[in-house]
Structure 1
Amino acid sequence: MNRKKLGMKYPVFICDDDPEQIELISKTLWTAEYILSDVEKVEFDVNSATNYGDALEYLKQNKNDGGIYFLDVELGKKADKDNGFDLAEAIKKQDKRSQIVFVTSHADLAFIAFERRLGSIDYIIKSSDVDVFKRRVVETIEVALHQLKNMNYIKKTTFTFKIGRQIFNEDMNNVIFIETTDVLHKLDLVKTNGLGQLIGTINQYDEENPLLVKISQSCLVNPENIESIDLKNRMVSFVNGDRKVYSRSNVKKMKQLMQKYNYTVRSLKVDED
């Protein structure tokens, strides 16, 4: 039986003032899809532009998260204005996980990318040897996908929240639960290492954090830090000793969590109905 591979589609944007160069990279990406689709299927959603202005318009219309960008450094033959480095800065402001690849005819421009702290993953020199260039593109794409997967893992296992203009990152293992307070949009964050407060809503953090589970309209929990579930009294006990009631609509969800995480049964009162 042939089983369909699960896969990921990655946005790729190419900006080069030479249409033939765009076509070469695009065709190489099609090849890369086949080469890199081993365990999971890899697909690229490719878009392109031939000048700085059209590239900015693409960024305005497409809010990518973790896109791959091939940027010609010398856009319009101008190395000092509206070039690939300037475009990279605009991309970095919008797409924090962007994977930027500079493509140029001049190796000596590589230091500028470092000096401007653009964090590019590669600097590919345009070559008359097409096979060498294509091989370098495929290798660079492989690096980009590896880095994006690592970023996805870190994102999933990190709880990120904002207070004012400051952004805080907390190891998801430390989060026990989040619950509403008497103050609108102010939440309590209960952790294994202390307490904190957040601004936002339960629904907001539920959508942003797939590892957390909503047990009621007022409480979002980390299932890894549940100690037991009392099905008869609809009560969840946590590793810090706290207990919270879950809503009747979540009974099935609680039973699924019990099966998945094999919580301790010493304090459970299982309702067999």
Structure 2
Amino acid sequence: MEYPVFICDDDASQVARVSQIIKSAEVILSDEETVKFNLVEQAASYAEAAAFLKANPLDGGIYILDIELGKSVSKDNGFDLAEQIKRQDERAQIIFFTTHDDLSIITFRRRLGPIDYIVKTDDLDVLKKRLTKTLEVAIYQLSKFNVMKEMTFSYKVGRNIRNVNIDNIYYIKTTQTPHKLQLVLKDGQREFFGFISKIAKENPMLVKISQSCIINPKNLENVDTKNYKVEFANGDEQYYSRSVAKEMKDLIKQYNLKNASEVSKFNGLFKH
């Protein structure tokens, strides 16, 4: 797995040490899965870092930030940069470097939620152990976030974001109103504006079966390959496109579903 890393520190020697440790951490943390840290950029000032991240926003990045940019905790420091990062990257993993160990109250008040504060030291071994452990925590947090995101479907109603568990979804289909979609759940229905193709792309656990419908295959009751339709546990039926016929047969095997047309054929033979 590859993780983008961004470093902002005005101490060139510190950046060199951190970069060296990051490389060695790849080997240490590569166990069942190969870990690669991709150093996308390093900056020496708030302005330089802010400009780069605005033009090149990261998703699920690891950010190693010096709090005292310019040798002081004044305006345009590591805290300010972290606030911008949090607005851009909801999965951001922030690691603060500092010459002080008493700045945690500031991050608490500003709700920055870093995964660690590391006090700068010239002891390379101490720094290596601490940063490697912190990078391991970052990887764990990102993997946990990814699992939660996969299991959650989010949609917007007005200015509000609504979240539902993917397992609670039967299907999402278009309505007669342009761009208005109907979300059919185990416990009811919702309507919101969106695009079927975009939702399918952003939610890999859902399957697009036609230009007008996305389904949760986990909640299928059976598939009728003769009539090109699927049935859900609540009795609802939706038709699927002939172009996805092969994919539907794969779903039958993957989820051990009943094939309604095969059951009908078998019953006909049994009666004779």
**Aligned partners of 1:97 and 1:150: how far apart in 2?**
10
Match of 1:196 in 2: 190
Match of 1:173 in 2: 167
Match of 2:249 in 1: 255
Query: Is the 1:12–1:68 contact (alpha carbons within 8 Å) kept by the matching residues of 2?
Result: yes
Partner SS for 1:237: strand
Mark the runs of 5 or more structure 2 residues left unpaired by the alignment. Answer: 266-272
- Whether 1:20 and 2:19 are equivalent positions in the alignment is no
Q: Deviations over 1:195-236 (max 9, x none)?
A: 001211111111110000011111000000100001111110
- Whether 1:85 and 2:79 are equivalent positions in the alignment is yes
**Aligned partners of 1:123 and 1:115: how far apart in 2?**
15
Match of 2:2 in 1: 9
Partner SS for 1:187: strand
Match of 1:230 in 2: 224
Note the C-alpha offset of 1:57.
Answer: 1.5
Cα–Cα, structure 1 residues 271 and 106, in superposed 2: closer, same or farther, change >3 Å? Answer: same
**Aligned partners of 1:219 and 1:117: how far apart in 2?**
40
Query: Is the 1:176–1:192 contact (alpha carbons within 8 Å) kept by the matching residues of 2?
Result: yes
- Whether 1:156 and 2:150 are equivalent positions in the alignment is yes
**Aligned partners of 1:270 and 1:16: how far apart in 2?**
67
Query: What is the one-letter code of the residue matched to 2:22?
Result: L
Equivalent residue for 1:186, pick from 180, 184, 203: 180
Equivalent residue for 1:49, pick from 38, 43, 46: 43
Equivalent residue for 1:66, pick from 60, 70, 79: 60
Report how many aligned residue pairs link the two structures.
Answer: 264
Match of 1:32 in 2: 25
Cα–Cα, structure 1 residues 138 and 271, in superposed 2: closer, same or farther, change >3 Å? Answer: farther
Query: What is the one-letter code of the residue matched to 2:52?
Result: Y
Structure 1 stretches of 4+ with a deviation exceeding 6 A read none
Mark the runs of 5 or more structure 1 residues left unpaired by the alignment. Answer: 1-7
- RMSD over aligned CA atoms reads 1.3
Equivalent residue for 1:241, pick from 235, 240, 245: 235
Query: Is the 1:231–1:270 contact (alpha carbons within 8 Å) kept by the matching residues of 2?
Result: no
- Whether 1:96 and 2:90 are equivalent positions in the alignment is yes
Q: Deviations over 1:130-151 (max 9, x none)?
A: 2101110000000000000000
Query: What is the one-letter code of the residue matched to 2:16?
Result: E
Is the deviation greater in 55-64 or in 234-243?
55-64
Equivalent residue for 1:269, pick from 236, 252, 262: 262
TM-score normalised by length of structure 1 = 0.94
Q: Deviations over 1:78-101 (max 9, x none)?
A: 212110001100100101110001
Query: Is the 1:228–1:268 contact (alpha carbons within 8 Å) kept by the matching residues of 2?
Result: no
Query: Is the 1:179–1:202 contact (alpha carbons within 8 Å) kept by the matching residues of 2?
Result: yes
Partner SS for 1:57: helix
